[in-house]
């Protein structure tokens, strides 16, 4: 999609932005819309490669990166401190980091449950807290967009930990929006269902992907940039009266 300067002059932080998934697509779309970005990811090598590729295309002054594991509070703090040092503050935060897995409840271990919850829900909480502290102190408003999932609304075998985490992200979004409205910050979320990227293809069986695809209204999975377009909308002035909303980017919202 061509850019329209919707985010010109804005500074955005995007987590889990290395690679070809929703985070990477969002970073690219933000650059196309005129923003300068700070990208974080737990995979340092892949993150640096992503930064270099985007800098070559959009200019070295438009993109910086810092490794960030959202389960580590010190690394979260470092990411937001870096955004403030490098760009004098921030305007938009996209909390994209999440981790899935498949295990039926009777077989699920405490570690499987805790790991998914810590990355997907607790990580979103840590980044939301850091972002709101920064935006509240700056006093110039701002926007947060969280990556939830339609699975936070509907049930799926083997996904209790991921569904619980994404339902928690939805509830966190709504509560944060009520609190942040007092200082002019909006907080919304997107809820994709099936957005294809190489990592998903590696960790999900072809049979399951085919089954999930047939349930989609268009008979195909979403491309990551199609989710990123909705994130751009929520980050831009076009959604200036929206807060506390979870926007389904799928027909699978119930």
| Cβ proximity of 11 and 31 under 8 Å | no
- Buried-exposed string 121-143: b where 16+ CB fall within 10 A, e elsewhere: bbbbbbbbebbbebbeebeeebb
- Buried-exposed string 50-85: b where 16+ CB fall within 10 A, e elsewhere: bbeebbeebeeeebbbbbbbbbeeebbebbbebbee
CA 195 to chain centre: 13
162 is catalytic: yes
| Cβ proximity of 138 and 87 under 8 Å | no
Exactly one of 162, 183, 221, 241 is catalytic; which is it? Answer: 162
| Cβ proximity of 134 and 84 under 8 Å | yes
Catalytic residues: 162
């Amino acid at each position: 999609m061509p850019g329209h300067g919707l985010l010109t002059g804005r500074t955005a932080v995007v987590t889990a932005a290395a690679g070809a998934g929703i985070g990477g697509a969002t970073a690219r779309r933000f650059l196309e819309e005129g923003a300068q970005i700070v990208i974080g990811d737990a995979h340092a090598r892949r993150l640096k490669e992503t930064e270099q590729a985007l800098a070559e295309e959009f200019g070295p002054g438009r993109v910086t990166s810092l490794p960030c594991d959202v389960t580590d509070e010190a690394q979260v703090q470092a990411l937001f401190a870096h955004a403030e040092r490098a760009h004098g503050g921030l305007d938009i935060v996209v909390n994209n980091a999440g981790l899935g897995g498949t295990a039926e409840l009777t077989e699920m271990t405490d570690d499987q449950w805790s790991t998914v919850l810590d990355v997907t829900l607790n990580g979103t909480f840590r980044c939301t807290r850091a972002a709101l502290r920064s935006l509240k102190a700056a006093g110039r408003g701002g926007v947060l967009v969280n990556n939830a999932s339609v699975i936070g609304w509907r049930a799926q075998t083997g996904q209790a930990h991921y569904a619980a985490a994404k339902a928690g992200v939805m509830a966190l979004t709504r509560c944060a929006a009520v609190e942040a409205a007092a200082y002019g910050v909006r907080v919304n979320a997107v809820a994709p269902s099936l957005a294809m990227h190489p990592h998903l293809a590696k960790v999900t069986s072809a049979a399951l992907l085919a089954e999930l695809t047939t349930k989609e209204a268009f008979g195909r999975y979403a491309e990551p940039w199609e989710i990123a377009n909705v994130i751009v909308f929520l980050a831009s002035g076009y959604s200036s009266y929206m807060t506390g909303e979870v926007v389904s980017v799928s027909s699978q919202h119930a």
